[in-house]
């Protein structure tokens, strides 16, 4: 089997795991609060990556591993900033799931793929006409998916939209710093920071008890171990052998898997209007990732 085929399969599995994680997050919220869920799942995700880092170091596969003290300090500070952004984004997503369906959450969250080039344009990077047309199409698709009669929109959908914007900022920041850092270490630090911040929120605003946590152990383990550690490792390995545009397309399928698993496991169906909105949003996501045709010189 060719390397690109193996990498594509790993990225497809990654998208499937992430899509099912929306169900795990939604189910977990039936027993524990958003901060408790975040503290538990991201702590497990960080733990899972520790042996992954050890294996990558032993095999010599670690990229840009920090050696000097300044390198380690810079890696740590970047991980803390990533963790703060991840905490803000996932907290909005978690609270949003209280007032929206898994399918809607998956598609609205996936809009970060459209927001990333728009943020790049704000920061001075030129964005072509295609990006803006995709953004307009995504807005129209979200209107069909989320806006009800009387131009009302669910509070959970607005929170999830804010989550998508924060994920886009997170991706832009990671894209700026990760070329000079070890990506797996960066992710491990951000998971532990996100867990610590969630634990603060848990102690301040929630009253967690071990009984409730044990009742939803499977959603927590799935969201932490599989969605965090396993899927992230699949992403790292898969992206080595797959072109960036194709990798983005494969990973954006998490929105489709979220809607599918929401229907299969939770019985959350979408109306014809909402399905049309999903289709338009997904088309915008796909088109925004297709490479531009290069003009021939001369």
- Residue 137, in any domain of the structure: yes
Specify the 3-state DSSP secondary structure of 153.
strand
- Residue 149, in any domain of the structure: yes
- Residue 296, in any domain of the structure: no
What is the separation of C-alpha 190 from the centre of its chain, rounded to a whole number of angstroms?
Answer: 13
Could you give the number of structural domains in the chain? 1
Burial class (CB in 10 A: 0-12, 13-18, 19+), 68: exposed
pLDDT at position 295: 47
- Residue 297, in any domain of the structure: no
- Residue 118, in any domain of the structure: yes
Distance, in Å, from the CA atom of 185 to the CA atom of 52, rounded to the nearest integer, reads: 10
Q: Which domain holds residue 249?
A: 3-288
pLDDT at position 298: 45
- Residue 87, in any domain of the structure: yes
Residues of the chain with pLDDT under 70: 1, 125-127, 148-152, 244-246, 248-249, 289-298
The mean pLDDT value of the chain amounts to 84
Question: How many other β-carbons are positioned within 10 Å of the β-carbon of residue 88?
Answer: 18
- Residue 298, in any domain of the structure: no
Going by C-beta distance under 8 Å and a sequence separation of 6 or more, which residues neighbour residue 279?
141
Summarised one tens digit per residue, pLDDT across range 26-70 is 888 889 999 999 999 999 999 999 998 998 888 887 878 888 899
Going by C-beta distance under 8 Å and a sequence separation of 6 or more, which residues neighbour residue 139?
none
- Residue 294, in any domain of the structure: no
């Amino acid at each position: 089997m060719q390397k690109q085929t193996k990498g594509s399969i790993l990225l497809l599995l990654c998208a499937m795991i992430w899509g099912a994680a929306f169900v795990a997050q939604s189910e977990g919220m039936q027993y524990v609060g958003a901060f408790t869920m975040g503290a538990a799942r991201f702590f497990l995700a960080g733990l899972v990556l520790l042996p992954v880092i050890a294996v990558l170091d032993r095999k010599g596969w670690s990229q840009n591993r920090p050696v000097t003290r300044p390198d380690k300090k810079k890696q740590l500070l970047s991980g803390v900033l990533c963790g703060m952004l991840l905490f803000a984004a996932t907290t909005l997503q978690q609270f949003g799931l209280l007032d929206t369906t898994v399918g809607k959450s998956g598609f609205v969250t996936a809009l970060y793929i459209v927001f990333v080039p728009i943020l790049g344009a704000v920061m001075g990077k030129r964005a072509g006409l295609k990006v803006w047309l995709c953004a307009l199409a995504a807005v129209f698709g979200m209107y069909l998916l989320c806006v009800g009669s009387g131009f009302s929109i669910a509070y959970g959908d607005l929170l999830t939209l804010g989550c998508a914007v924060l994920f886009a900022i997170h991706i832009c920041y990671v894209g700026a710093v990760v070329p000079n850092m070890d990506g797996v270490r960066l992710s491990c630090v951000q998971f532990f920071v996100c867990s610590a911040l969630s634990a603060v929120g848990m102690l301040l605003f929630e009253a967690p008890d071990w009984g409730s946590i044990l009742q939803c152990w499977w959603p927590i383990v799935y969201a932490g171990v599989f969605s965090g550690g396993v899927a992230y490792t699949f992403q790292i390995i898969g992206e080595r052998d797959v072109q960036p545009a194709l990798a983005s397309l494969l990973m954006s399928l998490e929105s489709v898997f979220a809607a599918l698993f929401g229907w299969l496991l939770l019985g959350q169906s979408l109306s014809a209007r909402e399905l049309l909105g999903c289709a338009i949003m997904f088309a915008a996501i796909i088109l925004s990732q297709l490479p531009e045709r290069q003009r021939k010189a001369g």
